[in-house]
């Protein structure tokens, strides 16, 4: 099967899987991540087919999307197998999907990262920053019934994926516990440059949020 046909099949599959997705991991998130990845790829290089297929499929079995306790990697893997791709290509894609998330990074920090991994992970993380990142954070919090802000809660530091997955803090604290950490966890120089303005925008928003919360404005 030609790569262009595989991409078209994948787009149709992912659009159907993510239809009506309410947590900020919908098809438009995938499109944005692909656009960011293309920018990184133009500067950094890599194997675009691996990058594109990985980012298209990275959320179809995510625990947040399927509303389960654990990720289901068989959804993406079974689809790729049906596209008659080589075992080597499928393995490269699935290795990234299985280890790229923030929660998984607690357990895989010492592992070597391929350039394709770095670009996909950076692209996904950049979409969690800035104005879009703020909107997605509150969309996810709302989908889980989380408070906007709980002044009695203290931001937590996590040391394992299991600890992180049990987090029950407010959406505001999600910024301290994850989103404000992402800029310094990016892999590529191109992504780090893009992240500067997005990170600063979020910090300005959070200061304004607290000022308004406390009646100072």
pLDDT digits (tens, 9 = 90+) for 167-176: 778 999 999 9
Closest CA to 178 of 214, 145, 140: 140
Residue 47: strand, helix, or coil = coil
CATH of the domain at 110: 1.10.3210.50
Name the residue range of residue 136's domain: 3-213
Q: Left if phi > 0, otherwise alpha if psi is -120 to 50, otherwise beta: which for 84?
A: left
Total domains, the chain: 1
Rounded Cα distance between 119 and 17, Å, is: 23
In this predicted structure, the answer to whether residue 110 has a pLDDT above a threshold of 70 is: no
Rounded Cα distance between 108 and 161, Å, is: 10
Give the pLDDT confidence of 13-63 residue by residue, as tens digits: 999 999 989 999 999 999 999 999 999 999 999 999 999 999 999 999 999
Q: Is 167 exposed, middle or buried (0-12, 13-18, 19+ CB in 10 A)?
A: middle
Q: List alpha helices for the chain, DSSP H.
A: 3-17, 27-44, 48-57, 63-66, 74-82, 87-99, 102-108, 115-126, 130-143, 161-165, 171-177, 189-213
Is the sign of the CA dihedral 101, 102, 106, 109 positive or negative? positive
Per-residue confidence (pLDDT) for residue 157, from 0 to 100: 83
How sure is the predictor about 97, in pLDDT bands with cuts at 50, 70 and 90? very high
How far is residue 145 CA from its own chain's centroid?
Answer: 20
Residue 58: strand, helix, or coil = coil
Closest CA to 59 of 27, 95, 92, 103: 27
């Amino acid at each position: 099967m030609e790569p262009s046909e595989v991409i078209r099949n994948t787009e149709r599959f992912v659009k159907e899987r993510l239809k009506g997705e309410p947590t900020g991991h919908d098809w438009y998130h995938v499109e944005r991540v692909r656009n960011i990845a293309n920018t990184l790829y133009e500067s950094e290089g890599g194997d675009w087919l691996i990058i594109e297929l990985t980012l298209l499929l990275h959320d179809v079995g995510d625990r947040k999307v399927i509303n389960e306790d654990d990720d289901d990697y068989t959804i993406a893997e079974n689809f790729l197998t049906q596209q008659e791709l080589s075992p080597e290509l499928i393995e490269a894609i699935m290795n990234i999907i299985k280890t790229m998330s923030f929660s998984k990074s607690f357990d895989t920090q010492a592992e070597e990262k391929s350039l394709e991994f770095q670009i996909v992970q950076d692209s996904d993380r950049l979409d969690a920053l800035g104005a879009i990142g703020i909107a997605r954070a509150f969309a996810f919090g709302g989908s889980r019934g989380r408070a906007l802000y709980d002044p009695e809660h203290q931001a937590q530091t996590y040391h394992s994926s299991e600890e992180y997955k049990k987090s029950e803090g407010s959406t505001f604290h999600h910024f301290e516990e994850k989103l404000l950490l992402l800029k310094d966890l990016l892999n590529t120089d191109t992504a780090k440059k893009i992240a500067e303005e997005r990170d600063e925008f979020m910090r300005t928003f959070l200061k304004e949020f607290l000022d308004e919360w406390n009646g100072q404005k």
